[in-house]
Amino acid sequence: MVRERDLIFPAWDFVGIDITAIRQAGETMHFFATVDGVEVAHNVVSLGQDVRTLNVEEPEPVGLLAEPPAQVDAIIYILWPHGGASVLQAEQANLTAILFGAGTRLAFPAGASWTPTVRLHWSINHGTDLTGGEGVIGTPREVHRNGMRYVVWDFNNIDVRAARNPNNRMYFWLSVDGVEARSSIWVHSADGRPILQTADLPASSCR
């Protein structure tokens, strides 16, 4: 329990998180919190010299899943502003995502009866999920490449006008109905510098 400005409320501490990759390899790290058994509209906090998602290559499957996995790696691999507009000019964008079995490069086969529902979520700066945790449902699309037929998910006509303000960072991530998803984070912004977060206090005490 924390006492701050005459308010009393619970807080959760995560101590000793290893962030050496930021200094040693120049990587970006994204953090968000979840709560077991509860639908969460979380925010995202990023650390790094440039937190934007840049120069992402489309991940190539090496095979196909033979059965529904209990856990997936959910990867956004492209955000394409309409008309090739710059971040400062774009109004809408399309995103495409792919799912793999967790820890593998085995994709979901086309035509399978167990193709899941994939949802896109987003937030701005340190705000929480602007979809209220519901997300926007993606459209599955069959891809035929390297002798394999697998599924990707498209999210079209997403409003990205908030990123036209250089002070804003738009964060995108994925969830999958009925499956535990380890999602990548995509940061869409004209300015890659991380934003210093300030404390967001509750309106009243919790008893």
Phi, psi dihedral angles at 90 (to 5 degrees)? -70, 140
8-state DSSP, 48: S
Two tokens, residue 119:
């949802």
pLDDT at 158: 98
pTM, full prediction: 0.92
Two tokens, residue 146:
């390297």
Angle at 83 between CA 165 and CA 131, to 5 degrees: 50
Q: Place 201 in a pLDDT band, splitting at 50, 70 and 90.
A: low
What's the mean pLDDT when you consider all of the chain?
93
Q: Does the pLDDT at position 157 exceed 90? A: yes
Distance separating alpha carbons of residues 138 and 117, to the nearest angstrom: 7
Angle at 162 between CA 176 and CA 196, to 5 degrees: 85
- Helix, strand, coil in percent for the chain, rounding step 5: 5, 40, 55
Distance separating alpha carbons of residues 99 and 189, to the nearest angstrom: 24
Distance separating alpha carbons of residues 166 and 10, to the nearest angstrom: 34
Q: Does the pLDDT at position 203 exceed 80? A: no
Q: Does the pLDDT at position 3 exceed 90? A: no
Q: What is the enclosing helix (H) or strand (E) of 20?
A: helix 20-24
Q: Does the pLDDT at position 26 exceed 80? A: no
Q: Closest Cα partner for 149 from 61, 73, 72, 76?
A: 61
Residue 207 CB contacts under 8 Å (≥ 6 apart), including other chains: 8
Two tokens, residue 18:
């290893």
| Better-predicted residue by pLDDT, 1 or 93 | 93
Cβ atoms of residues 165 and 140 within 8 Å: no
Distance separating alpha carbons of residues 93 and 189, to the nearest angstrom: 13
Distance separating alpha carbons of residues 49 and 161, to the nearest angstrom: 24
Phi, psi dihedral angles at 24 (to 5 degrees)? -80, -40
